[in-house]
Amino acid sequence: MKFVDEYRDPAMAHQFRRELARITTRPWTIMEVCGGQTHAIVKFGIDELLPPQVRLIHGPGCPVCVTSLELIDQALDIASRPGVIFCSFGDMLRVPGSQKDLLSVKASGGDVRVLYSPLDAVRIAAQNPGREVVFFAVGFETTAPTTAMAVCQAARLGLKNFSLLVSHVLVPPAMEGLLSDPECQVQAFLAAGHVCAVMGYEEYLPIAARLRVPIVVTGFEPLDILHGILMCIRQLESGRAEVENQYSRAVRREGNLPARQMLGEIFRVVDRKWRGVGEIPGSGLALAEPYRAFDAALKFGVSQLSVNEPAECQSGLVLKGRIKPAECGAFGTRCTPEHPLGATMVSSEGACAAYYRYRRDPSIIPNS
Amino acid sequence: MSTPASFQSACPFPIENYPQILLAHGGGGRLMHQLIQRMILPAFKNPWLDAQHDASVIEPGGSRLAFTTDSYVVRPMFFPGGDVGSLAVHGTVNDLAMAGAKPLYLSAGLIIEEGLPMETLWKILSSMQRAAQAAGVQIVTGDTKVVDRGKGDGVYINTAGIGVVEHSLSITPTSVRPGDVVLVSGDLGRHGIAIMAVREGLEFDTVIESDSAPLAAPVLALVEKGVEIHCLRDITRGGLTSVLNEIAEGAGHPIHIEETQVPIREDVRAACEILGLDPLQVACEGRMVAVVPEREVERVLDLWRGFGVSAGAAVIGRVAEKGTARVLIRSAIGAQRILEMGSGEQLPRIC
C-alpha cells in the first residue's frame, strides 16, 4: 500500500538497526510522547531492534488515557439523562469512570453514539431539534481543529441543542511538566508528528534550548520511529539539543496556519487535570467566552463533580514513564481490557493495553 | 426454602462483572467466548455442544449428519456484494461445510419489522433463493413473525441447516498436530469493511464488495480427493484472530503466523488504516482457515485455486509444539508479538 509499505520495509529497518548499533556508545533514555507511536513500537517490535543501551519510555500521549476521572464521570452523568444524544469517539466508550463506562450507559438505554467526526454531531443536532446533542471533545492538538470547526458550524446554524464537553489537552506543557519532575529520566523526546502537523514545532524550540533536551518530530510508521530514534541518538552522542523534523512529509515549521487560527478563536488555554498525572498549568483547551453557550458542563450543571482515582491503578507512573505496564501488580490480573482499573488499559493507544495485546507473554517482553 | 444441591439456580456468570448484556457479548471476541463458556455450555451441557464446532455431527439411525443454526441481524440489510438474505444462506451453508459436510436442507425463520416494504422483503427472499440454488441447498421449512415498528432493523433471519457427512475424518481442533500448516482460502476483511463503509458513508476509489459466498464446493473437493483435513473454521466475527485463537486453544498447540503472508487487499488495508481497525480482526463471510499436515499443502492449494471463492488461497503459518502464547505473529519488520483475541466490538480510534 502506497505511503505505508515503504515505511515498513524490513531491509531499511535493519539498516537503521545497524546504524543505531554502530553509533550508540552509552545508555540513553528516550520518551515517545504519543500513544500512537507506543502502539507502533510494541506492535511491530521496534524496541527489539534497538541496541540494549537505548531505553524507550512510553509517554502520556494518549488523550483517552489522560482524560480526568471527573470529566469521564461528567460525561457519564450527561449521557445517562433522558433526551440526550451523547456522541463520542469510539475508544472513549470503554474508559471506566468511577462507577461505570459509556458502554454500560448505552446498555442501560442511554443514546450513546460513536462518531468519526464532531461535524457529524452537528448534523445530528440539526436533524433532532427536540433532543440535546452533546459531543465529548477529546484529543490533543490533532483533533482540536475539527472540534473548533464543529463549534463554528453550530454557531453559524444557530443551534441551541448542541453542546460539547471539552477535554482537549496540549502536548508541550506536558513535556515541560515531565522534565521539571526531579525524578525524570528522559534525555530526548520523539515529538508526536500529528500534533506538529497542526501546530508546527516552533513551540518546542525554547523547550529544547532551555532544558537541553533533543526533540525530534517523528511519524508513526516503523521506519519513521526508527529514524526518529536514530536522530535523537545522533544528537545525544554529539551533545546537541535541537529540534529536528523527521516527519517532514507532513510537518512544516509553522504547522497548519488556518487550523491554528481557528483554535485561537474558539478556545482559550486553561489549567487541566491529567488522569494519573495531576494538574498541569496551561495544558488544556476550554471554549472561549463567546462560545460558552456550547459548554455542556455548564449547560448540564456538572462542572462541580469531583472524584478520586482508584488507589491500585498505577497509570500515573506508567504515563510518566516511571514503570513499564507489566511491572504493575494488577496488570493482566485485576486489570484487563474488559475490566480496566485505569484508562491506560482501555484505550487502543494506552501503554498498558498495548502491552496486554501484544506482549502479555513474559518470554517476549524484552529486558529494558 | 432450600434448593436441592444438584440444581444450580444461580447464574454462573460473575454477575459483578456484567450485570447485563453488552453489544460486545455478540462481537465475536473474548466477551462472546466467555458468554458461551460460562452460560451457554453449562446451560445445555452435552457432548455435541461441548465439542464447539461450527456444526454438530449427529448420527441418528446410522446416518452421519451435520446440523447447525445461525441468526443474521446485519445492518444495513443491503450492502455491496450481498444482503441479509444471501448472507443467511451462505453463513449456515459454511458452518455445515466446516464439518466437511455436504449441505442439503435449510430452514428460514423471518422476524420482520412492521412497516417493511413488501418489495424489500421480496428482494431478500429472492436473494435467499438464488443463494440457496447456487449452494445446492433447498429451504424446506420456515416461520414468519412480525414485531412492532422500531423493534427490529427491517428483518432478522435465522437459518438452520442439515448436511450429510460422507467421510470418516475428525475435522476438529483436537486433530491439529505440531508441524501442521495453516492456510486461508482468500483475502481477508472485505465483508466487515463493505458493511462499515456503507454505515460510515465512506467512499473509496473502488467499491469494496463483501466476500459473502458459499464455501461448500472447495471443502467437498478436498473431502472427495481424500485430503487429510485436520481442522476447518470459517472466518466470521472476530476475524482471523478469533479463529486462530480458538483453534490453538482447542488444539493445545500454539500457532505461528507470518503477517506478510496473510492476504489482505490493498483497499481493505487502506480502509483499516483510516478507520483505525486491525484487518486481522475484521469479519469475513466467505473465507476459511484450514489446518492440514505439510504433505497435503500443495494438494489443498491446487484444489482450492480451481474455485473462484478460494482462488486466493495462501499458506500463512504453522502449528508449533508448545509455547506460552496461543497465537504469535511475526510483523513486517521481523519482530514477534501475540495475536490476542479482541475484547468485543472493535472501537474506532480517536487519532
- State the distance between the two ends of chain A, measured CA to CA, in whole angstroms: 33
Specify whether the CB–CB gap between A177 and A316 falls below 8 A.
Answer: no
Q: What is the mean pLDDT of chain B?
A: 90
Please tell me if residue B134 touches chain A, with a CB cutoff of 8 Å. Answer: no
- Smallest Cβ distance to A361: which of B31, B338, B350? B338
The pLDDT of residue A140: 93
The pLDDT of residue A146: 95
- Any idea where the domains of chain A sit in the sequence? 1-60+170-254+310-362, 68-168+256-299
- pLDDT(B308) > 60: yes
Specify whether the CB–CB gap between B271 and B208 falls below 8 A.
Answer: yes
Residue A12: strand pairing partners = none
Write out pLDDT tens, residues B96-123: 999 999 999 999 999 999 999 999 999 9
Say yes or no: do domains A1-60+170-254+310-362 and A68-168+256-299 share a fold: yes
A68-168+256-299 has which CATH code? 3.40.50.11740
Q: Which fold has domain B173-338?
A: Phosphoribosyl-aminoimidazole Synthetase; Chain A, domain 2 (3.90.650)
Q: Which one of 3.40.50.11750, 3.10.180.10, 2.60.40.1730, 3.40.630.30 gives the CATH number of domain A1-60+170-254+310-362?
A: 3.40.50.11750
Contacts of A269 (CB under 8 A, 6+ apart): A170, A282, A284, A285
From chain A, pick out residues whose CB is under 8 angstroms from the CB of B17: 338-339
The pLDDT of residue A322: 81
Cβ of A357 and B338 within 8 Å? yes
Query: Does the pTM of the predicted model rise above 0.95?
Result: no
* Chain B nearest C-alpha distance from A200 (Å): 17
The pLDDT of residue B165: 96
Q: B7 falls in which pLDDT band (50, 70, 90)?
A: very low
- Any idea where the domains of chain B sit in the sequence? 14-43, 54-164, 173-338
What type of residue sits at position A189?
A: F
The pLDDT of residue A361: 57
Give CA–CA dist A76/A61, Å, rounded: 23
The pLDDT of residue A127: 96
- Smallest Cβ distance to A45: which of B23, B269, B335? B335
Write out pLDDT tens, residues B206-265: 789 999 999 999 999 999 999 999 999 999 988 999 999 999 999 999 999 999 999 999
Please tell me if residue B24 touches chain A, with a CB cutoff of 8 Å. Answer: yes
The pLDDT of residue A368: 31
The pLDDT of residue B17: 65
The pLDDT of residue B200: 74
Gyration radius from chain B CA atoms: 20
Across residues B300-310, what is the average pLDDT? 97
Write out pLDDT tens, residues B138-176: 999 999 999 999 888 899 999 999 999 999 999 999 999
Residue numbers of chain A with a pLDDT score lower than 50: 362-368
Across residues B270-294, what is the average pLDDT? 92
What type of residue sits at position A36?
A: G
Specify whether the CB–CB gap between B31 and B24 falls below 8 A.
Answer: yes
Write out pLDDT tens, residues B313-331: 999 999 999 877 789 999 8
Place of cell 451523547: A86
Write out pLDDT tens, residues A289-346: 999 999 999 999 998 877 777 778 888 888 777 888 888 888 988 888 777 887 788 7
